[in-house]
Amino acid sequence: FTSGGMVTSSSVPLTWSSEENSNATVYEILNQTTSTWVIATTTELSYTVSNISPNTEYTFGLRGIEVTTGEYSSTITYTTTTLPLVPTAPSGLTVSLRTSTSLTLDWTDNASGQSQETSVAVLRSTDDSTYSTVATIGADSTFYTLSELTPNKIYYFKISAINAAGSGISLATST
């Protein structure tokens, strides 16, 4: 009894083999995390649980039913955590404290709750097309100072809030 594919922020695909419940012809999927005990009944060897919360640990149970006798098999379990939501992109990216070779970027952190970031990436470009990561900093950061920049050169910057589900990237600002 395992995940049968990619766990997302709102669904978990489950699969199992008939050997796990050898006499069963019908299967009940149980949500042992909530008070909704039986969430589905199927004759298939797979089921996708949907409409569940992001960034939450769930334990699912599976029991087989032998329809001629009505007997239940032992319940087997599988525990997984759904992905969080993709972080909300930072906003308000500005440049402050500028010198000829350094500058400080400031922004507003908009990621929280189910879309909380785990890190923040500072991206830099010289053509506003190809960006590379110049720093990865901690979650909830709202500024970063860059040094050793070339005087009189135009740079473009973006900030990316990152978690296991993906990234939210700010609009670019130039210097």
Q: Does position 28 have pLDDT exceeding 70, yes or no?
A: yes
Most confident of 54-63, 64-73, 95-104: 95-104
**pLDDT tens-digit series, residues 66-84:** 877 777 777 777 888 888 8
pTM beyond 0.85, yes or no? no
What are residue 19's phi and psi, to 5 degrees? -65, -25
Name the average pLDDT for the chain: 86
Say whether pLDDT at 35 is over 70.
no
Q: Which amino acid is at 147?
A: S
Percent of the chain surpassing pLDDT 70: 94
Task: Express each pLDDT in 112-123 by its tens digit.
Answer: 888 899 999 999
* Consecutive H or E run containing 31: strand 26-31
